[in-house]
A and B are shown apart, each in its own frame.
Chain A
Amino acid sequence: MDLFLQITAAIAMGLMLIYLWPAYKHWQNNSPKAQQGDWLAALLPLGAVVVLVIFLIMAVR
C-alpha cells in the first residue's frame, strides 16, 4: 500500500511537471528583463521571509 501511494504521488508530480513545462518555456522566453534595483526590491522581502522562518524555527525548538 505504501509503495502504491509513493508511485501514485510520483506519477502525479511527474504529470504536474509535464503540465508546467509550457508555462516554464513561456516565462523563459517572455519574462521582461529586470531593471536596475528590481532584484534588490525583490530580495528584500524574501530576506525578511527567511528571517521570519528562522525565528519560527527558534520558537519551536
Chain B
Amino acid sequence: MSTDSFLLKSAESRAVSANKVLKNTYLLLAATLGFSAFTALLSVALAMPSWTYLAAVIVSMILGIFVLPKTANSAAGVGVIFVITGLLGFGLGAILTQYLALPNGGETIGLAFGGTAAIFLGLSGYALTSKRDFSFMGGFLFAGMMVVMIAAIANIFLHLPLLSLVISSAIILLMSGFILMDTARIARGEETNYIMATYGIYLSIFNIFISLLQILGIMGGDD
C-alpha cells in the first residue's frame, strides 16, 4: 500500500515538474522569438549585407555548442540564449532585406511566417494531446540530418536549384519531426532543462522559417 502511495506521489511530482518545464520553455521561447523579431527588424532597418547571416549563424553555432551547455543550469544560460537568438534574428534580417527587394517579397515573407507558425502550433498541439513518445524517431531524424548536411555542403559549390528545393523540403520535414519529438520529451518529463528545450525548439522553428522562405522564393519566381 505504501509502495503504491509512493509511486503515485512520484508520478504526480514528475507530472508537475514536466508541466513547469513546459510552461517555462514556452515562456522563454515566446520571449526569444520576440527578441529575434526585434533584432531582425533592426537588421532590416540597417540594410545589413547578406554575409551577416553567415557570420551570425557561425557565432551563434559556436555559442550554442561551447557556451550554452555549460551555462544552461544557471541564470547565465538565459542571457546566453538571448544572445544566440538575437544574433540569429539579426542574421535573418539580412536575408529578409534581400527578399523585401524582390517583387512580392513581403507576401513571401508573410506566407513563410504564417506557415511556420501554423506548423509549430499544429505539431506542438498534436504532440501534447496525443501524449505519445516520439523518441523512436530519433535515429531516423539524426540520420536524415547527416544526409541533408552533406547534400547542403555539396550544394554550396554546385548551386543546383532543384537540390536546394529538395534540401529545404527535407529540412522542413526533419525539423517538424524534431518538434514532435522534443515537445513529447518535455511533456513526458524526459527533458528537464527548459533552456536547452527552448534552444532545440527555437532552432527547429528558425530552420523551418528559412527553408519555407527559400521554397516559396524559388517557387514564386517568374522563371
State the Cβ distance, B134 to closest chain A Cβ, in Å.
6
Residue of chain A at shortest CB distance from B51: A5
Other than A9-B156, A31-B135, A38-B132, give 9 A-B pairs with Cβ distance below 8 A: A5-B54, A9-B54, A17-B149, A20-B142, A31-B140, A33-B136, A42-B137, A53-B215, A59-B111
User: Which chain B positions have C-beta within 8 A of A27?
Assistant: 138-139, 141-142
Whether the Cβ atoms of B172 and A31 lie closer than 8 Å is no
Q: Is the pair B173, A24 in contact by a Cβ cutoff of 8 Å?
A: no
Which A residues from 8 to 46 make CB contacts under 8 A with B?
A: 8-10, 12-14, 16-17, 19-21, 23-24, 27-28, 30-35, 38, 41-42, 45-46
Distance of A32 Cα from B46 Cα, bound (Å) = 48
Whether the Cβ atoms of B54 and A28 lie closer than 8 Å is no
Give the A interface residue count (CB, 8 A).
38
Complex interface: chain A residues within 8 A of B138 (CB): 27, 30-31
Q: Least Cβ distance of B110 to chain A in Å?
A: 10
* B-side contacts of A20, CB under 8 Å: 142, 145-146, 149
Task: Chain B residues near A30: list those with CB within 8 A.
Answer: 138
Other-chain contact of A17, B57, B58, B122, B146 (Cβ < 8 Å): B146
- On chain B, the residues within 8 Å of A23 by CB distance are 142
- Given the known inter-chain contacts A5-B54, A6-B156, A60-B104, please indicate yes or no for A53 contacting B142, CB distance below 8 A: no
B6 within 8 A of A: no
Q: In the complex, what distance in Å separates the CA atom of A56 from the CA atom of B157?
A: 29
- Which residues from chain B contact A31 at a C-beta distance below 8 Å? 135-140
- Bound together, the chains give a CA A59 to CA B215 distance in angstroms of 12
The reply to whether B61 and A45 form a contact with Cβ atoms under 8 Å apart is: no
CB within 8 Å for A42 and B141 given contacts A31-B136, A49-B119, A60-B219: no
* Cβ–Cβ contact A49 & B220, under 8 A: no
Chain A: CB-nearest residue to B154? A10
Q: Does B176 lie at the interface of the complex (its beta carbon under 8 Å from any beta carbon of A)?
A: yes
